[in-house]
Chains A and B, each alone.
Chain A
Amino acid sequence: MESEKFAEISQSIKALERKNSRLNLIVLVLSAAVVVSFLGITALRTQAPNPLGTTEILRVRGIVVVDENGTERVWIGAPVPEPLILGKRFPRGGKMSGIILFDEEGNERSGYCTSDGYSNVLFTLDSIGQQHVLFLAEPQGDTALWLWNGGNSFKLNVGEDASSMKLSQAEKVLFESPPARLDERGGDIK
C-alpha cells in the first residue's frame, strides 16, 4: 500500500519537473523576445525621420521653384544659369552661385550670389533687362552700394583707406566726395 503511494508521489514529482522545464523554456523565449523587441524598437526610433525634418541634409547642385504656369521663379544653384531676359539668354560673364529670383514672365530680376574667381558677394535688383541696385562686398573688404536708372545714380564706396560718395542726375554730378577717389575706382557699370 505504501509502495503504491510512493510510486504516485514519484510520478507527480516527475510531472512537476517536466512542467517546470517547459515553464523555464517559455520564460527564456519570452525574455529573448522582449530583448529583441526592445533592440528593434530602439533601432527603428533612431532611423525614423524627425517630425520637424531638422536632421535631413540635401546635397544637390540646384533647386528650382516653378509657379503654376511652369515658369521658373526661384533658382538656388551652384552655379546658377545664364540670365534669361524676355525669352533669350545673355552670357553672365562668369560663374555665380547663390539664389536668383525671376518675375512671372521668367525674366531674371534679382540675385544674391558669390562669384567664382574674384569671389565677390553681391545682391542685385533689376528691371526687365537692366540692373538698378548693386550691393557688393569684395574679398579684401571693399564694399559698394550703387543705385542707378539711366543717367541718374547714387554710388557709395567704402574701402580700407577711404570712402566716397557720388550723386548724379542726368549724367551730371550733383555731389561728389572726394572727387579724385571716385575717378580712380572706375566708371559706370551699365
Chain B
Amino acid sequence: MRRLNTGIRILSLLVVAQFVLAASRGLLSSQEDSAAAWTGHEGAVTDVAFLPEGDTVVSCGLDGTVRLWSVVSGHMKKVLYSYEDEIFALAVSNDGRMVVTSEYSGQVNIHSMEGGPIRHLNGFLGWSADVVVSPDSRKAAIWSMDGDIWIYDLETGEHVSKLEGQKNKWGMALAWSADGSLIATGRVTIIVWDVGSGNQVQTLEGHKGFIRDLAFSPDGQRLASASMDKTVRVWDLGAEEALFTLEPQGLVIYQKSGPVTAPIRLPMTAVAFSPDGRKLATGGSDRVVRLWDAASGNLMREYKGHRMSVTAVVFSPDGGRIISSSLDHTIRLWQLE
C-alpha cells in the first residue's frame, strides 16, 4: 500500500512538472488570451462582417455557406444561404438590408435580409476575390479578371459603370471611402479612383507583394493596406506616401525542447480602422489579431487564439469589439479594453 501511495505521488509530481514545463514553453492555450471560438463552418472562414445594429455577425467560407451569428451568445442563428462553391468575400450594406457575396463559380449574389429572391450580378470575367458596397447602400463593386472594376446597382442588379485602365491586372482588395467618392484597388500597387468620373486620382507604390486587404479611414484622409509582403502600410492620401509601415513578427514554432524559431514574419491578410479612426486592427498568417494606434503605429495589444491564418478583422459598430475569421474554421470575438 505504501509503495502504491509513493507511486501515485511520483506520478502526480511528474504531471505537475510536465504542466509547469509546458506552460513555460507557451504550449498551453490557457497562456493565450483566447476568445471563445464560434464553430459551425465546415471549412475555412473567409470573410466576416457586423450587421449595423452590432448584435449579429454574418460570415462566409469555403464550405459555400453564409451564416448569421448572435454576438451575445456566440451561437449560430442560421445558415442564411448555402452554395456548392467556395465563397471568398462578403459585404453588408450600411442599411443592413443586403448581403453581397462573391463565389469561385463567378457568381456574385445579392441576398436580401428580408427574404425574397437572390439577384445575381452578371457580365464580368472570371471570379472576384473581393466585393464592396457603397456607403449609401445603393451600389456594389467587384474586380473583373479583365482588370476592370464593375459597379452595379444593388436594387436592380444592373451594371451601371466601370473603372477601366488596369488591363488584365486582377487583384484581391477593394475599399470604398466613407463619403462614397473614392474606390481603392490593391494589386501590388494601390490605385485610388474617383467613382464619379472613373479617373485614377492616386497611385500608391511601395508594397512588394500582392495586397490582400484595404481600408479607408472614416475621415477619408488615410488608407491602410495589408500585403503578402508581410507588412501593413498606412498611407496619407494627401501626401501620397506611407505614413508608417507595420512589420509585425508573430509566429513562433515550438517543439518539446522549446522555441525552435525566432518570431517569423508572415503575410498580412486583414486590416480595419475603428469607427472613430483612432485604432487599427490587423490580422495575418501569424494567427495574431493586433490592435494599433492608428496615428503613431504603436502596438497596443495582441489577441491570440486562432490556430491558423486570420482572414478578416472588423470592428463592431460601437468600436468596442473586434470580430476575426480564420482558416481554422472559426470566428472569434475580441473584447477591447
Q: Is the interface of A mostly helix, strand, loop or mixed?
A: loop
A14→B234 CA distance, assembly (Å) = 118
Let me know if B129 is at the binding interface, CB within 8 A. yes
- Range of interface residues on chain B? 20 to 34
Let me know if B44 is at the binding interface, CB within 8 A. yes
Are B129 and A89 in contact, CB atoms less than 8 angstroms apart? Answer: yes
Let me know if A94 is at the binding interface, CB within 8 A. no
Are A105 and B309 in contact, CB atoms less than 8 angstroms apart? Answer: yes
Residue in B62, B86, B126, B208 whose beta carbon sits within 8 Å of that of A91 in the complex: B126
Are B212 and A86 in contact, CB atoms less than 8 angstroms apart? Answer: yes
Q: Mark B292-334, 1 if CB is under 8 A from A, else 0.
A: 0000000000000000110100000000000000010100000
When A104-B308, A105-B309, A150-B208 are in contact, do A86 and B267 touch as well, CB less than 8 Å? yes
Residues of A within 8 Å of B, CB-based: how many? 16
Are A91 and B42 in contact, CB atoms less than 8 angstroms apart? Answer: no
Residues of A close to B104: CB separation below 8 A: 89
A128→B104 CA distance, assembly (Å) = 20
A89→B172 CA distance, assembly (Å) = 9
Are B209 and A130 in contact, CB atoms less than 8 angstroms apart? Answer: yes
Are A105 and B209 in contact, CB atoms less than 8 angstroms apart? Answer: no
Which residues of A in the span 49-76 have a Cβ within 8 Å of any Cβ on B?
69-71
Residues of B close to A86: CB separation below 8 A: 212, 267, 269, 285, 309, 311, 327
Residues of B close to A71: CB separation below 8 A: 43
Let me know if A88 is at the binding interface, CB within 8 A. yes
User: In the complex, how many angstroms separate the beta carbon of B270 from the nearest chain A beta carbon?
Assistant: 10
Let me know if A111 is at the binding interface, CB within 8 A. no
Residues of A close to B311: CB separation below 8 A: 86-87
Residue in A85, A91, A106, A150 whose beta carbon sits within 8 Å of that of B170 in the complex: A91
User: In the complex, how many angstroms separate the beta carbon of B261 from the nearest chain A beta carbon?
Assistant: 14
Are A128 and B285 in contact, CB atoms less than 8 angstroms apart? Answer: yes
Are B44 and A106 in contact, CB atoms less than 8 angstroms apart? Answer: yes
Q: Which residue of A lies closest to B310 (CB)?
A: A86
- Chain B interface residues (CB < 8 Å from chain A): 42-46, 62, 86, 88-89, 104, 126-127, 129, 145, 170, 172, 208-210, 212, 228, 266-267, 269, 285, 308-309, 311, 327, 329
